[in-house]
Amino acid sequence: MTQKQFHCNPDPEGEELPDLYVTHWGKEDCAPLHSFGPGIRDVYKFHFIHKGRGIVRVGGETFALTAGQAFLIYPNVVIFYQADENDPWTYSYCGFRGNLSEGWMCRTSLTPERPVFAMDMQIMPYLYDQLTETLSHENSRDLRLNAVMYRFLTALIETLPASSGADGGGAKKPNAYVHRAMEYIHAHYGESLSVEQLASDLGLDRKYLSAIFKGAKGVPPQQYLLHYRMRKACELLRGSELSVGEIARSVGYGDALLFSKMFKRALGISPSEYRASNLQLDDIVP
């Protein structure tokens, strides 16, 4: 069995996870009956089969896979996979995580119980090579990694779009709306943003969006937006020399006094007090 594997830097401690973060990738010529599990991973992990055969067992169902197929391991979902005894597979793989990962997967027809799919022939067979090529660009490696992954995820979503039919895909729709709303908030938190505008731009009724968002995240979208802005404000207070007024405008508050009032209401201390303290972000931000 031969294996090549590359790892990215570990997740930044004490900082919010990025929207997309490639954890590792590699390629393996498996030995006969080489297996994993039953067990779980803590990231999303794709396997692309280039030759040979094997099986994947998840949710009580067994899938037989051959070259040209792929499967996705979902975080914290028990899975077992094994190479064939006589024709063991060679596969490449890629693990990733991030704030928006779940939302992206909701845009596809894949589910934890049905994680098998056919590779496209333009991007997926070459993902390992494209990711490895980024290692030769030290100053721009992170951007190149993300660019490769965004191309792959775009191809995945367009090749395997989520269905809204009666086959069960429609049940994923509210969850997909929630993640679209989160993506929108992450992109526009620095602007004057209201729940009404958020719902309108997503083409949803405001009350419906609020209900499904609270059901999925435990808080209504307005509170999620507030918490997200406060997290970003804390990062700027601790990691920059911007004034409180400049930080207020950077996270969507045109009025620095209103920002300070909302900051203290949410965190219990003023922005200046937080900047001067040794408190960690997760100690005070919900």
Note whether 242 and 257 are same-domain residues: yes
Q: What is the pLDDT of residue 223?
A: 92
- Which one, of 61, 48, 53, lies nearest residue 34 by Cα? 53
Is residue 41 a contact partner of residue 16, using CB atoms and an 8 Å limit?
no
pLDDT at 7: 61
With respect to residue 232, please indicate whether it lies within any of the assigned structural domains: yes
CATH code for position 155:
2.60.120.280
Q: Is 73 a member of any domain?
A: yes
Position 226 scores a pLDDT of 93
| In a shared domain, residues 155 and 188 | no
Residue with tokens 């997309």: 20
By residue range, what is the domain housing residue 46? 2-159
Instruction: Read off the pTM.
Output: 0.61
Residue 230 lies in a domain: yes
Q: Which residues of the chain have pLDDT under 50?
A: 13-14, 165-171, 286
The answer to whether residues 149 and 183 belong to one domain is no
pLDDT in tens, 153-179: 999 988 888 765 444 444 455 677 787
pLDDT at residue number 166: 41
What is the pLDDT, as a whole number, of residue 198?
87
| Residue 139 belongs to a domain | yes
If you search the block for the tokens 């996870």, which residue do you land on?
Answer: 17
pLDDT for the residue numbered 183: 83
Question: Hey, how many other C-beta atoms are within 10 angstroms of the C-beta on 109?
Answer: 16
Q: Which residues of 53-88 are buried (b: 16+ CB within 10 A; e: fewer)?
A: bbebbbeeeeeebebebbbbbbeeeebebbbbeeeb
Say how many domains are in the chain: 3
**pLDDT for the residue 64:** 93
